Amino acid sequence: DAGITQSPRHKVTETGTPVTLRCHQTENHRYMYWYRQDPGHGLRLIHYSYGVKDTDKGEVSDGYSVSRSKTEDFLLTLESATSSQTSVYFCAISESERASTDTQYFGPGTRLTVL
Amino acid sequence: QKEVEQNSGPLSVPEGAIASLNCTYSDRGSQSFFWYRQYSGKSPELIMSIYSNGDKEDGRFTAQLNKASQYVSLLIRDSQPSDSATYLCAGRSYNTDKLIFGTGTRLQVFP
């Protein structure tokens, strides 16, 4: 298994509260990604990082921010959680975005419920 | 329009049969394609990647890519009940270099 952990694995919070999800990797891969997975939508990219302090927006970035101060850690923050952000969040890593090394490996996921 | 399309299923096949999972994509410039398997409540795990036209085999799995028809498929030979899962197809967008996922096909293999 790729060395990826996510914390917390489950979280229930209330609307309007801040939430931070953590992704930690031991592979020293350059690229890290945050996805959300919802029924009928599949996996959608929220934000990604291509190096320390280098991040960019994905398809569904509104309401989310990220930070990467170390190669191994990628944090996803919901500044003020809303019920529409109830979802399963997956972190993924890849060595590069060139063919033959662009495979993404996923962490175990975080199930977030916003009441 | 979703850029990667999959039939949601369920696709039901008997044990020992060949399961055929299909995926179409709209980005003609896409070069890399991936099949992931996801058990209920678990994370996606990579089964196959394919970059060139034709077939790529790995054990009981064969991925097929037809760029002219913008079509990717996954064949599972000698299907087992343990293959019952949702299979996600993903293509790398030519414009953004990011993976675009289909919504997945649920496969049920019955004894």
| pLDDT, tens digit, 9 for 90 and up, residues A47-76 | 999 999 999 999 999 999 999 999 999 999
Greater confidence (B92 vs A62) lies with A62
Does the pLDDT value for residue B98 go beyond 90? no
> What number is the average pLDDT over the span A35-50?
94
Q: B42 vs A108: CB contact, 8 Å cut-off?
A: yes
Residue B97's pLDDT band (cuts 50, 70, 90):
confident
| pLDDT, tens digit, 9 for 90 and up, residues B31-51 | 899 999 999 999 999 999 999
Is the distance from CB of A47 to CB of A56 less than 8 angstroms?
Answer: yes
| pLDDT, tens digit, 9 for 90 and up, residues B6-24 | 998 899 999 999 999 999 9
pLDDT at residue A13, rounded to an integer: 97
Does the pLDDT value for residue A113 go beyond 80? yes
A2 HSE (CA, 13 A, CB side): 26
Q: Characterize the bridge pairing of strands A73-78 and A64-70.
A: antiparallel
Distance CA B20, CA A57 (A): 35
pLDDT at residue B31, rounded to an integer: 85
Among candidates B32, B42, B103 on the partner chain, residue whose Cβ is nearest the Cβ of A102 = B32
Q: A42 vs B99: CB contact, 8 Å cut-off?
A: no
Does the pLDDT value for residue B1 go beyond 60? no
Is the distance from CB of B104 to CB of B94 less than 8 angstroms?
Answer: no
Residue A8's pLDDT band (cuts 50, 70, 90):
very high
Cα B61 versus chain centre, distance: 10
Provide the token pair at B100.
Answer: 């675009």
Distance CA B109, CA B17 (A): 9
Does the pLDDT value for residue A10 go beyond 90? yes
Is the distance from CB of B75 to CB of B55 less than 8 angstroms?
Answer: no
For chain B, the three-class secondary structure string (H helix, E strand, C coil) is CCCEECCCCCEEEECCCCEEEEEEECCCCCCCEEEEEECCCCCCEEEEEECCCEEEEECCEEEEEECCCCEEEEEECCCCHHHCEEEEEEEECCCCCCEEECCCEEEEEEC
Find the Cα–Cα–Cα–Cα dihedral B38, B44, B45, B46, rounded to 10°: 100
Q: How many residues does chain B have?
A: 111
The mean of the pLDDT values for chain A is 93
Chain B contact set for A96 (CB, 8 A): none
Q: B43 vs A42: CB contact, 8 Å cut-off?
A: no
Residue B2's pLDDT band (cuts 50, 70, 90):
low
Cis-peptide into B14, omega within 30 deg: no
